[in-house]
Structure 1
Amino acid sequence: MPRAPRPTLAALCFAFLTCGLPALAADATPAKQDAADNSQEMPAVTRAPLQERSQVEAAGLERQLPENEQQQLQAGDETFLALWRPANVGEPEGLVILLPGDGENADWPLAVGPLRRKLPDAGWSTLSLSLPDPKGDEPPPRPEKPSKIDRSEPVVSAEKAAEDGPSTTEQAGSAEPNTDPAPPALSTEGIRKAHSTRVSARIQAALTFARQSKPTTIVFLGHGTGAYWAAQYLAVEEPTDIRNLLLVDAQQPAGYDPILDKLLPELKLATGDFYYREAPADRSAAQERLQASKRQKHPAYIQVAMNGLPGDRATEQEQLVRRIRGWLSLQLQAGAPPGR
């Protein structure tokens, strides 16, 4: 009796694959759906802006320097770091307030740091300030980083969603948009005015602290753009107990008025203008300040040209300290009794 034909191996494999494809397709559908759902993102959330560079550097100085040198001063609603060193003598000559320039800190290795550490040995107390970053140089806000939607909730089919009505997210999205006006952006002039106000507030806070020790003389010393801010404060506030101003490598901050050429002669203070002769731009600016002082018949303006030593900063800074000490010994004018 003839046997029934057996299915070939190829036919069996084809039948198996045909039966298994619907199941595989069904298993793949949820995986694709989950992948699509997870690719959806929540609305972006804006993170708080980074700290100003000056705040970061001040925090670094707080970690590095002795606590007895640190003073937290209050200027309006801001607290800032100042570095204080009393004179290493029984009867101090007076007090020097140091103002660093843009991009510098209260212990900057050029001028500011060496002077604040070495003038106390010459009988002068020093108070070195941290000034705010100029507007426009602040770091940008942190980039927006969206977060994934929480998918712990069970996935609801389209048919079920239609029966249940609008979801919570859709209801929230259908709410009326926020119509509160955004705060107006400051103009360029407004930004500069706000920065000038912050700087002046810090200088005023430093003066308040300095006057507590009742020094016989208070001297302002500005480095870089700090020289401009020292002169600008003295011109606006006219404190009667400040009779001496020292400028080291003075720089004019871009966009601010009046310029130093017009500002310095009108102060009529004992002024020491120390500059480095190597850079043509610095020589030219120093020449203009000197000519302006002559036109205004400034009674006590002295300009001192120095040689920079880029390959030997230690010697360069030692020479600067000696020049400043010499000016304080020979050109200093006694101030009015403190107390204003």
Structure 2
Amino acid sequence: MPRRTLTLATLALALLCTTAQAEDPPAGKGDAAPADGTGQPAEKPVERAPLDERSQEDAKALEQRLPQAEQQQLTAGSEPFLALWQPANVGTPNGVVILIPGDGETADWPRAIAPLRTKLPDVGWHTLSLTLPDPAGDEPPPRPADTPPPAASEGGTPAEPPKSESADPANPPPPPEQASTAEPSTDPAPPQPRAEERRKTQTERISARIQAAIGFARQQQATTIVLLGHGSGAWWAARFLTDTPSSGVENLVMVAAEVPAGYEPPLEELAPRLPQAVGDLYYQQAPTAAASALKRLQASKRVKHLDYVQVPLADWSASQDAKQEQLVRRVRGWLDSHLKGAAPKRPASSGATAPTPPAAPATPSI
């Protein structure tokens, strides 16, 4: 009797094991193991496009605020951008002034850019104001990806994250004094975006936009094209003319010129060497601006650039309207007197009017 009972128990146990194996499907070679304990494969994070640049957001705001007739959608390569067009209010225009704003400025920036783009048409000039990309290094980060929350355990509570080896009581982390004396890691650091590559890309983007603006100006049958840069926009204009000697632009105006952060060479090595006529307007009350302007003037004298003219701007008024009105008058004066290839031509000197020789005494009549 005991032997029969033992045999029946053995058969029942064998049948139970066979049934359990039949219920478990064989694992395929291509099946991925679930990432959590729910039995469902883990969801992949959703990849999202980067945020728009600040300059793009500013351009959208201008599109909502300004008349449609002033807006021009130009294309630099495959990249569209907003430009503001203002036709001259005369029958025979003098040409086109292309306005290049500085870093962080819009195509309708209230200082320098907006007053010039709206008031130069009254004295015979078309104006085309550009939108530049954000400064290199200011690109917005990509939108955060959607990551699934930690899976809940069977009891309804979130699953605990796996404990690291350092949290193991058997292997406590070393004390601070021991960690500081540890040998430095020889593992290579993760690659970082090269600043030089970012600057090169930024230069190519801005140059393409200036070139697109010149192409648009030529479509308007402009006889004269002037580049006018404000702040770091003056450096970008000078850099473009240096890199593009066949641009066909013969005149450059710089207003409160400065070098973009992280770029070189300085302006005294760029602007005075250009073959174009250069108007260098600067605020003489600012010590740094005056010192930089002096370096540019001295460099122009060393290379005997007779078409390099500096125009000091007074910063005496507390009214921004008065300052902008003064700027418009000074720019108009330079365009009227020193424009290359247009009459009247200024004397071939460093910008100062040659003194008038004294008149010969009259011959007394006999």
Q: Shorter chain as normaliser: what TM range?
A: 0.7 to 0.9
Query: In the alignment, which of 318, 322, 332 is matched to residue 325 of structure 2?
Result: 318
In the other structure, the counterpart of 1:114 is 115
- Pair 131,310 (structure 1): closer, same or farther in 2 beyond 3 Å: farther
- Pair 149,242 (structure 1): closer, same or farther in 2 beyond 3 Å: same
In the other structure, the counterpart of 1:180 is none
In the other structure, the counterpart of 2:59 is 58
Query: In the alignment, which of 240, 255, 258 is matched to residue 265 of structure 2?
Result: 258
> Quick one: which amino acid aligns to residue 133 of structure 1?
D
In the other structure, the counterpart of 1:300 is 307
Match runs of 1:62-211 below 5 Å: 62-148=63-149, 186-211=193-218
Shifted more, 253-262 versus 198-207: the winner is: 253-262
How far, CA to CA, are the matches of 1:213 and 1:198 in structure 2?
23
The 8 Å contact of residues 135 and 191 in structure 1, kept in 2 or not, is answered as: yes
How far, CA to CA, are the matches of 1:76 and 1:149 in structure 2?
45
Shifted more, 142-151 versus 279-288: the winner is: 142-151
Task: Name the structure, 1 or 2, with higher relative contact order (CA <8 Å, separation 6+).
Answer: 1
The 8 Å contact of residues 101 and 233 in structure 2, kept in 1 or not, is answered as: yes
> Quick one: which amino acid aligns to residue 67 of structure 1?
Q
> Quick one: which amino acid aligns to residue 234 of structure 2?
A
Corresponding pairs, count: 269
The 8 Å contact of residues 241 and 247 in structure 2, kept in 1 or not, is answered as: no
Query: In the alignment, which of 211, 230, 233 is matched to residue 226 of structure 1?
Result: 233
Q: Deviations over 1:166-196 (max 9, x none)?
A: xxxxxxxxxxxxxxxxxx7541111100000
- Pair 150,87 (structure 1): closer, same or farther in 2 beyond 3 Å: farther
How far, CA to CA, are the matches of 1:212 and 1:315 in structure 2?
35
Query: In the alignment, which of 242, 245, 249 is matched to residue 238 of structure 1?
Result: 245
In the other structure, the counterpart of 1:273 is 280
How far, CA to CA, are the matches of 2:246 and 2:316 in structure 1?
36
Q: Secondary structure, in 3 states, of the residue corresponding to 1:242?
A: coil
Shift of 1:148: 4.4
Q: Deviations over 1:202-241 (max 9, x none)?
A: 0111111110111111100000010011111111111353
Structure 1 unaligned regions, length at least 5: 1-35, 158-183, 336-340
- Pair 268,45 (structure 1): closer, same or farther in 2 beyond 3 Å: same
How far, CA to CA, are the matches of 2:133 and 2:62 in structure 1?
15
> Quick one: which amino acid aligns to residue 278 of structure 1?
Q
Q: Secondary structure, in 3 states, of the residue corresponding to 1:258?
A: coil
How far, CA to CA, are the matches of 1:240 and 1:73 in structure 2?
18
How far, CA to CA, are the matches of 1:241 and 1:298 in structure 2?
19
How far, CA to CA, are the matches of 1:56 and 1:193 in structure 2?
24
- Pair 144,309 (structure 1): closer, same or farther in 2 beyond 3 Å: farther
The 8 Å contact of residues 45 and 146 in structure 2, kept in 1 or not, is answered as: yes
In the other structure, the counterpart of 1:5 is none
Q: Deviations over 1:119-177 (max 9, x none)?
A: 000000000000111121122333445344799xxx979xxxxxxxxxxxxxxxxxxxx
Q: Secondary structure, in 3 states, of the residue corresponding to 2:304?
A: coil
> Quick one: which amino acid aligns to residue 289 of structure 1?
R
Choose between structure 1 and 2: higher helix proportion: 1
Shift of 1:45: 4.5
- Pair 44,93 (structure 1): closer, same or farther in 2 beyond 3 Å: same
The 8 Å contact of residues 268 and 299 in structure 1, kept in 2 or not, is answered as: no
The 8 Å contact of residues 309 and 315 in structure 1, kept in 2 or not, is answered as: no
How far, CA to CA, are the matches of 1:104 and 1:147 in structure 2?
40
TM-score, normalization: structure 2?
Answer: 0.69
- Pair 240,190 (structure 1): closer, same or farther in 2 beyond 3 Å: closer
How far, CA to CA, are the matches of 2:49 and 2:287 in structure 1?
43
Q: CA RMSD in A?
A: 2.4
In the other structure, the counterpart of 1:179 is none
The 8 Å contact of residues 217 and 241 in structure 1, kept in 2 or not, is answered as: no
Q: Secondary structure, in 3 states, of the residue corresponding to 2:270?
A: helix
In the other structure, the counterpart of 1:9 is none
Q: Secondary structure, in 3 states, of the residue corresponding to 1:109?
A: coil
**How many percent of aligned residue pairs carry the same amino acid?**
55
How far, CA to CA, are the matches of 1:331 and 1:130 in structure 2?
27
In the other structure, the counterpart of 2:255 is 248
